[in-house]
Amino acid sequence: MLLTINNMNVRYGKTTALNITTPIRIEAGDRIGVIGSNGAGKTTLIKSLLGITHYTGSVESTIAPTDMAVHMQFNEYTNSMAVKHIMEAILQTKIRKNEKLKELIAYFEFEPCLNKKYKTLSGGQKQRFTIILVMMQDAPLTFYDEVTSGLDFETRQKLVEKLVSWYANKENGLCVVSHYYEELEQLTNKLLILDQGKVVDFGDKDELFKKYCGRALIVIENNEKNQQLVAAYKMLSAPGHLIALACETQEVETEITEKLIKNNVNYKRSNNDIEMTFINAKSKAASGGKDHEEK
């Protein structure tokens, strides 16, 4: 066990930014996706665990905040020297003498950037620079806060693939905050769902999908024709332009898909959709569903 949040309350004036009352346990090797709308308390949680933001409550931890690593959403460095000198100054080591640092630089294809000034780097290069600094700490618990924010799709995808590969089969715990659901699909195995500072649910992402969406779901375009076609089936909460259908059994799924195919309706079938898990967990909580239960 790396840490357990038994309870945590953060207030900014009269506003409660975060209020966790049910234990949240982070184990070695956990890959936790932290999701929630703006103002849900995601960054506040990270800053609290790092000791940056004051909180009341109880957190048991086998590691000190100073031994945790963090990649925050915004980072700025001096432009008075080449980034290789910034890197060496921060890490207090010489690149040519540090095999692990050389490995990371090569792994993230950062060699061509070493002699550049920070302000001349592209968004993706700046992210890779900061990630190298974070990963050099080899911390037992690392927080990534919107690690690919502002990057184009191809650059985001390459960066996420690098992170997945680097941490494969390692015991380092990760907490990843991202509003890109496809990234969380690749990087995480657990979800912590926050809404307005409260925990909606926490647990294995596949189990949470089953809990809120069922065995599988089918998604189609939301239009009048499709609404009439599937009116007899159980509908889940979904973005306004989509209709999401719960498939509790194989028989129901077969019946729905046969009808859609017969009527020439395109559909997507899923059994691990984080966005739909999040939407339906929030919907259930808003309608009076139970708070998160320990898995």
Q: What is the pLDDT of residues 32-41, one digit of tens each?
A: 999 998 889 9
Residues 6+ apart with CB under 8 A from 269: 216, 217, 218, 219, 247, 253, 257
Partnered with residue 145 across adjacent β-strands are: 177
Convert the pLDDT of each residue in 282-292 to its tens digit. 999 888 764 44
Residues 40 and 164 placed together within one structural domain of the fold: yes
Mean pLDDT of 103-107: 92
SS3 (DSSP) at 17: strand
Per-residue pLDDT, 73:
66
Residues 149 and 267 placed together within one structural domain of the fold: no
Question: Within 13 Å, how many C-alpha atoms sit on residue 2's CB side?
Answer: 22
Residues 9 and 53 placed together within one structural domain of the fold: yes
Convert the pLDDT of each residue in 131-160 to its tens digit. 899 989 889 999 999 888 878 888 888 889
- Would you say residue 294 lies in a domain? no
Which band of pLDDT confidence, cut at 50, 70 and 90, is reported for residue 293? very low
Mean pLDDT of 157-175: 90
Per-residue pLDDT, 265:
97
Residues 116 and 241 placed together within one structural domain of the fold: no
Mean pLDDT of 237-256: 96
Convert the pLDDT of each residue in 61-99 to its tens digit. 999 988 999 987 667 788 889 999 999 999 999 999 999
Identify the sign of the CA torsion 36, 39, 40, 45.
positive
Burial of 58 (0-12, 13-18, 19+ CB in 10 A): exposed
Does residue 220 contact residue 226 with C-beta atoms inside 8 Å? Answer: yes
Does residue 278 contact residue 209 with C-beta atoms inside 8 Å? Answer: no
- Would you say residue 225 lies in a domain? yes
Residues 273 and 219 placed together within one structural domain of the fold: yes
Residues 62 and 8 placed together within one structural domain of the fold: yes
Task: Give the helix, strand, coil percentages of the chain, each rounded to 5.
Answer: 40, 25, 35
In whole numbers, what is the pLDDT of the chain averaged over residues?
92
Q: Which domain holds residue 186?
A: 3-68+139-204
Convert the pLDDT of each residue in 248-264 to its tens digit. 999 999 999 999 999 99
Q: How many other C-beta atoms are found inside a 10 Å radius of the C-beta of residue 81?
A: 13
How would DSSP label each residue in 137-182? T--SEEEEESTTTT--HHHHHHHHHHHHHHHTT---EEEEE-S-HH
Residues 212 and 280 placed together within one structural domain of the fold: yes
Question: What is the distance of C-alpha 96 from the center of its chain?
Answer: 34
Higher pLDDT, 223 or 179: 223
Partnered with residue 20 across adjacent β-strands are: 8
Residues 124 and 145 placed together within one structural domain of the fold: no
Per-residue pLDDT, 144:
93
The domain total for the chain is 3
- Would you say residue 236 lies in a domain? yes
- Would you say residue 293 lies in a domain? no
Residues 267 and 150 placed together within one structural domain of the fold: no
Residues 234 and 272 placed together within one structural domain of the fold: yes
- Would you say residue 37 lies in a domain? yes
Residue environment code for 101-140, b if the CB has 16+ CB neighbours within 10 A, otherwise e? beebbeebebeebeeeebeebeebbbbbbbbbbbbbeebb
Which band of pLDDT confidence, cut at 50, 70 and 90, is reported for residue 184? very high
Q: How many other C-beta atoms are found inside a 10 Å radius of the C-beta of residue 260?
A: 19
Residues 6+ apart with CB under 8 A from 127: 147, 148, 151, 159
Q: What is the value of pTM for the model shown?
A: 0.88
Quick check: 242 pLDDT over 80?
yes
CATH number of the domain that residue 270 is part of: 3.30.70
